[in-house]
């Protein structure tokens, strides 16, 4: 097994210390940061995402894997900077106005970050205007809106309206999700993307950055 | 008014039989719903007044039971969590390691008063029984004490500590529910513990089996030994472990259904005769459909369960603050056409 494969394996098992040590070792062996990142860390996180999609692992395992990924990234970051590796781009993420559910939102954020996308997390109970401001300020290409209540899922539409009013609707892709949200609802409110789970959300987000 | 009769209605549903009359089930009502249904204004904010109002509300609505909760029995959770409708399950956490575990003050079960059950008895109309429940379930309380993410890390890093925390919470919940069984007015116990979401459960199936289910199984055993019934509430997707709810733990009824996971009609077809299906008319559906559409769906549910039994009508989760009351009343009127609202 190559060292990047080993990083991926340990990451999937959530072994943060092992991942850190292996990343360190790989760097010493002169493996480029981009290879360690893509073939080690991101490939490991993708594998976890796939298993999560198929219900083969549960949320806690995903969180523990994400923790291991972050431990590896911490060591790798200086090398990434000197190699000039930049995030694919920025996404703004939050739970909409009136809604405090944040476990799903956090998971989506972790998985999206796991694809090398920078996430601006505005937290929960977020006003449409703040989202618009954050998109402009950060030049974000994707907006991820989480809503878990019937009342607040309507708030996802308000955000789309606010983006239109600010004249930036066509500059961003709007992704929606959360317990009561369905593809049909996403179509009704004119969102660009709905996914059932966080791993698919990350894939879809990546596609928006690379298309 | 529909006369309450626990034994002939809800108890039969829980036995997976046909109830004498179409039967209603609801676990949590919003303050507003309780106020309007009871037509009663609280004279003070006392435990007795609140119980009285809830009984009047349940009686008028047409339920055969009233859910009663002790006051003052709570596990200490992060300060920003208490008293709010919601909070971040990720924030804070009073127990994150051994050291904070040693410092944590667990509620003294000997000090719990069951006086409120005596109070309920005083106002309970003939035929109505109490459903006794605990403030949140085992997993919910452990998440409240540790924080969700912390708990997830603990399950990977220190399973012994996790075992102890679950034991502290689980054994108290079990003891409390068992003690309520000594009261004649208690017809059923209820384990309300949100353990799932759209896709799956919040912790793995194996961890649920190891850390949570033993206490529920023991509570179920004790409940049945007294000839009483036990129900449960949990949101979420139980694909892969649904059968254990009745087969292993021994729950008589399950509450909480969501259309995006499995519509109640489908759940009923799949599980009738195995576990009583309680409630199930999706909250989102009720909020976004007309009174007629709601009544039609309710009637259809009663029709398909007419021959086989084992079903009680109610919402998929609870009568939330944002659910228009007329829509909830449309559901009630299917079973209780004479419903009067003052
Ligand atoms: C835990 C929970 C709570 C916790 C929330 C803690 C927190 N900080 O998050 C507490 C106890 C505080 C709570 C409170 C309430 N809750 Co609540 N809650 C839940 C529960 C059981 C699980 C939610 C969860 O964390 N799931 C775990 C995560 C991982 O899943 P998820 O959020 O669905 O995310 C996944 C996908 O949806 C997707 N996803 C999520 N976001 C996004 C975003 C994008 C862009 C994409 C692409 C994908 C995506 O990816 C995630 C992972 O794969 C759900 C049940 C359910 N079926 O979801 C009810 C539920 C959401 N709650 C409900 C209700 C009614 C309430 C309350 C109103 C209760 C009350 N009566 O007071 C309050 C409202 C508070 C508020 N204003 O927000 C109802 C909502 C019904 C409705 N349709 O309106 C639900 C559906 C329960 C039910 N059966 O009816 N709740």
Token pair listed for A183:
């593809």
- Given an 8 Å threshold on Cβ–Cβ distance, is A55 in contact with B199? yes
Q: Please give the mean pLDDT across all residues of chain B.
A: 93
Give the dihedral sign, CA A49/A54/A56/A59: positive
Question: CA B153 to CA A148: how far, in whole Å?
Answer: 24
Q: What is the pTM of this model?
A: 0.91
pLDDT string in tens for chain A (211-residue length): 899 999 999 999 999 999 999 999 999 999 999 999 999 999 999 999 999 999 999 999 999 999 999 999 999 999 998 998 888 999 999 999 999 998 899 999 989 998 889 999 999 999 999 999 999 999 999 999 999 998 899 999 999 999 999 999 999 999 999 999 999 999 999 999 999 999 999 999 999 998 8
Q: What is the average per-residue pLDDT within B26-39?
A: 95
The residue-averaged pLDDT of B119-145 equals 94
Going by CA atoms, what residue is nearest to atom 10 of ligand 1? Answer: B86
* Residues of chain A contacting residue B202, judged by C-beta atoms under 8 Å apart: 58-59
Per-residue confidence (pLDDT) for residue B82, from 0 to 100? 45
Q: In the predicted model, what is the mean pLDDT of residues B193-221? A: 96
pLDDT score for B92: 61
CA of B56 vs chain A CAs: smallest distance (Å) = 29
The ipTM, to two decimals, is 0.88
Query: In this structure, what DSSP letter does residue B29 have?
Result: B
Q: Are B281 and B256 in contact (CB under 8 A)?
A: no
Which long-range contacts link A15-21 to residues 24+ away (Cβ below 8 Å)? A15/A68, A16/A67, A16/A68, A16/A70, A16/A71, A16/A72, A17/A71, A18/A68, A19/A68, A19/A69, A19/A71, A19/A72, A20/A71, A20/A72, A20/A74, A20/A75
**Domains, chain B, ordered by start:** 1-68+275-342 (no CATH), 76-256 (3.20.20.210)
Interchain pair A60, B152: CB under 8 A: yes
pLDDT, tens only, B55-91: 999 999 999 999 998 766 678 876 544 444 555 555 5
A35 close to ligand 1 (CB < 6 Angstrom):
no
DSSP state, residue B124? P
- Side-by-side strand order, sheet with B186-192: B65-68, B129-133, B186-192, B229-233, B253-255, B276-278, B311-312
B142 pLDDT more than 80: yes
Does B125 score more than 80 pLDDT? Answer: yes
| Domain A3-82 sits in CATH 1.10.1240.10 | yes
Measured torsion, CA atoms of residues A159, A165, A168, A174, in degrees rounded to the nearest 10: 20
Pick the residue with more confidence: B116 or B326? B326
Instruction: State what percent of residues in chain B have pLDDT above 90.
Output: 85
Nearest-angstrom CA–CA distance, A207 and A193: 11
Architecture of the domain whose range is A90-210: 3-Layer(aba) Sandwich (3.40)
Residue B197, chain A, CB below 8 Å: the answer is yes
Q: Is B25 helix (H, G, I), strand (E, B) or coil?
A: coil
- Rounded CA gap, B329 and B323, in Å? 11
Q: Please indicate if any CB of chain A lies within 8 Å of the CB of B123.
A: no
pLDDT given at position B202: 96
Mean pLDDT of B114-133: 94
CA distances from B36 to B293, B321, B333 (A): 23, 13, 15
- Range list for CATH 1.10.1240.10 in chain A: 3-82
- CATH 3.40.50.280 location in chain A: 90-210
List of chain B residues whose C-beta atoms are within 8 Å of the C-beta of residue A64: 152-153, 156
CA distance B340 to chain A (A): 28
Q: pLDDT tens digits for B259-302?
A: 999 999 999 999 999 999 999 999 999 999 999 999 999 999 99
Render pLDDT for B9-18 as a digit per residue (tens, 0 to 9).
999 999 999 9
The pLDDT, as a whole number, for residue A114 is: 87
Please state the length of chain B: 342
pLDDT in the model for residue B73: 67
Closest CA to B64 of B72, B73, B55: B55
pLDDT in tens, B145-161: 999 999 999 999 999 99
Record: contact B204-A60, CB cut-off 8 A: yes
Distance, CA of B192 to CA of B255 (rounded, Å): 9
A52, A198 contact by CB (below 8 A)? yes
Integer Cα distance of B83 and B105 in angstroms: 19
């Amino acid at each position: 097994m190559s060292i990047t494969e080993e990083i991926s394996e340990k990451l999937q098992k959530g072994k943060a210390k092992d991942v850190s040590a292996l990343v360190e070792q790989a760097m010493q062996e002169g493996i480029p940061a981009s290879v360690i990142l893509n073939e080690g860390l991101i490939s490991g996180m993708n594998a976890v995402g796939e298993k999560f999609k198929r219900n083969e692992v549960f949320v806690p395992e995903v969180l523990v894997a994400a923790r291991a990924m972050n431990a590896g990234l911490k060591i790798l970051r200086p090398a990434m900077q000197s190699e000039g590796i930049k995030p694919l781009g920025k996404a703004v993420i939050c739970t909409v106005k009136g809604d405090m559910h944040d476990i799903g939102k956090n998971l989506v954020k972790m998985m999206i970050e796991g694809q090398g996308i920078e996430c601006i997390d505005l937290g929960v109970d977020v006003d449409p205007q703040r989202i618009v401001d954050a998109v402009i300020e950060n030049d974000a290409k994707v907006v991820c809106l989480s809503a878990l209540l019937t009342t607040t899922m309507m708030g996802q539409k308000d955000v789309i309206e606010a983006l239109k009013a600010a004249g930036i609707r066509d500059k961003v892709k709007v992704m929606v999700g959360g317990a009561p949200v369905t593809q049909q609802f996403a179509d009704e409110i004119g969102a660009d993307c709905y996914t059932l789970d966080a791993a698919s959300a990350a894939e879809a987000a990546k596609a928006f950055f690379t298309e | 008014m529909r006369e309450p009769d626990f034994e002939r209605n809800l108890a039969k549903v829980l036995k997976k039989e046909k109830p004498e009359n179409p039967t209603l089930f609801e676990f949590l009502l919003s303050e507003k719903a309780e106020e309007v249904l009871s037509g009663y204004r609280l004279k003070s904010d006392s435990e007795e007044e609140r119980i009285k109002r809830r009984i009047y509300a349940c009686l008028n609505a047409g339920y055969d039971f009233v859910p009663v909760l002790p006051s003052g029995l709570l596990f200490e959770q992060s300060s920003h969590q208490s008293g709010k409708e919601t909070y971040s399950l990720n924030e804070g956490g009073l127990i994150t390691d051994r050291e904070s575990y040693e410092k944590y003050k667990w509620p003294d079960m000997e000090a719990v008063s069951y006086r409120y059950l005596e109070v309920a008895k005083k106002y309970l109309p003939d035929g109505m029984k109490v459903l006794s429940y605990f403030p949140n379930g085992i997993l919910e309380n452990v998440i409240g004490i540790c924080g969700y993410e912390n708990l997830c890390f603990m399950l990977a890093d220190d399973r012994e500590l996790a075992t102890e925390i679950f034991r502290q919470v689980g054994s108290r919940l079990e003891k409390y529910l068992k003690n309520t069984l000594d009261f004649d007015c208690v017809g059923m116990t209820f384990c309300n513990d949100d353990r799932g979401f759209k896709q799956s459960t919040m912790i793995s199936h194996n961890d649920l089996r190891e850390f949570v289910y033993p206490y529920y199984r023991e509570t179920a055993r004790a409940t049945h030994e007294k000839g009483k019934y036990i129900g449960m509430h949990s949101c979420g997707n139980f694909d892969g472990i649904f059968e254990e709810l009745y087969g292993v733990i021994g729950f008589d009824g399950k509450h909480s259904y969501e259309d995006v996971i499995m519509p109640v009609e489908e759940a009923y077809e799949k599980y009738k005769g195995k576990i009583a299906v309680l409630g199930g008319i999706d909250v989102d559906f009720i909020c976004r459909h007309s009174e007629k559409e709601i009544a039609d769906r309710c009637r259809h549910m009663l029709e398909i369960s007419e021959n086989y039994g084992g079903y009680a009508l109610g919402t998929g989760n609870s009568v939330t603050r944002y659910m228009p009351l007329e829509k909830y009343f449309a559901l009630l009127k299917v079973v209780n056409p004479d419903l009067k609202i003052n």
